[in-house]
Amino acid sequence: MEYLKYIIIALIVLFFIRSMFPTKGVRNITSAQLKNELKDKNKQFVDVRTPGEYKGNHIRPFMNIPLHQLEQKINQLSKDKEIVVICQSGLRSNKACKLLKKQGFKQVTNVKGGMSAWS
């Protein structure tokens, strides 16, 4: 029975490590690269932080769709345009990118380091 405890712990650790890796088919950019893309009208910009975080500081073209509401509000986004996703550190936006890919979005970009890397 002791080994079962170690297997469960290993699976939990694996789950958390896996959630930090980039998602297959998702482009990752730095905040410096983001600056060059902000003027592109053919892209959708989504900030998945909480409304309070967004209100405190955000980048102009980004619309706020908190991660916990993304699945319900996914119909507000076009599958014909690339989606650029940001959060505070890059973890929530990575989760959002995974969700978008599962929902059939083809062009999904994650901003590595999120708002913490934005200057």
Q: What order of strands is seen across the sheet that includes strand 82-86?
A: 26-29, 108-111, 82-86, 43-47, 63-64
Catalytic residue among 86, 87, 97, 99: 87
CA distance 116 to 41: 24
Check if 87 is active-site: yes
Q: How many CB atoms lie within 10 A of CB 97?
A: 27
**Secondary structure tally for the chain: helices H, strands E:** 6, 5
Instruction: Give the position of tokens 């892209």.
Output: 43
Q: What residues act catalytically? A: 87
